[in-house]
Amino acid sequence: MKIESHTLNDLHAYRYFDDEKEQQYALVISHGLGGHGGIYGTFCEHHAAHGADIWSYDAPGHGLSNRARARGTFTMDEWAQATRDFAAHIKAKTGLPVFALGSSLGVAAAISAVNSPAISGVICMGSLAVPGSPTVKSMMGHWSSEPVKQVLTELGRGARLDLALFFDFDKDYGFLGAAEAKRQDPLNTWSYDLASWASFLNYVPPEPLIENVKPIFYTAGTEDPNIPEGFIEILVSEIGGPVTLKKFEGAGHQLMLFNTEEYSSAVHEFCLSNI
């Protein structure tokens, strides 16, 4: 197993691959809220043994990416573009089919990049973050109102979202002390500029998802505390193309971390069936 560190357009990525295996496809992983590409090492090392070339990148304004800017400052447009850029880079470098895998908030960046010619398909894990979805848009319309825009402009970086208060990481990870454990990792991010958060809520992909024709693998745990009953089915119905929905019985939010083998097998099967 080899683990490398790469930089593309001032964005950092961890690359995992087994050079004793024949590489069959590549994954571009987009992490979730406040995270970085290195948090999925357990999954990446396990999954690379299938013959997958895995690139798990730090989103703009996260981890080791864009170190000259304040952490927690980004736009969803550049986050989605990061997925496209890494996919194109990997495709040119390896010639392999490339799949984008989004975790939680990272689903927004992964599925929004499905229009990239370098991407063969998208895997979505545990998320309602689907930009352009009519359902999501109907719930978030106030974020694009003129009064909100004015407040964000006037307050600038002084208007911030405290991620530890906004999101219950203990509940998310399924055990008491998860948030404190995450605080031991200096590469995690604990606040976002509110304007950055608004850029996610207001983002519209360049290609309407209902017009998508590429394979989508939408996954979630049946015990994910962040997903209301029946909501994923609604979102899936608003995405075009062949969409497969798979729920992991008894599983929570972090499938890659806590259901590693089962999730890896499902992802591998999806990728192989679409190359």
| Domain boundaries along the sequence of the chain | 2-272
Tell me 167's DSSP state. Answer: S
The model's pLDDT over 3-38, given as tens digits with 9 standing for 90+, comes to: 999 999 999 999 999 999 999 999 999 999 999 999
* List of E strands, the chain: 2-8, 11-17, 25-30, 52-57, 98-103, 119-125, 160-162, 191-193, 216-221, 243-248
The model's pLDDT over 151-209, given as tens digits with 9 standing for 90+, comes to: 999 998 899 999 999 999 998 887 889 899 999 999 999 999 999 999 999 999 999 99
Can you name the CATH fold of 2-272? Rossmann fold (3.40.50)
pLDDT level of residue 262 (50, 70, 90 thresholds): very high
The model's pLDDT over 114-151, given as tens digits with 9 standing for 90+, comes to: 999 999 999 999 999 999 899 998 988 899 999 999 99
pTM greater than 0.85 (yes/no): yes
List phi, psi (to 5°) of 160: -130, 155
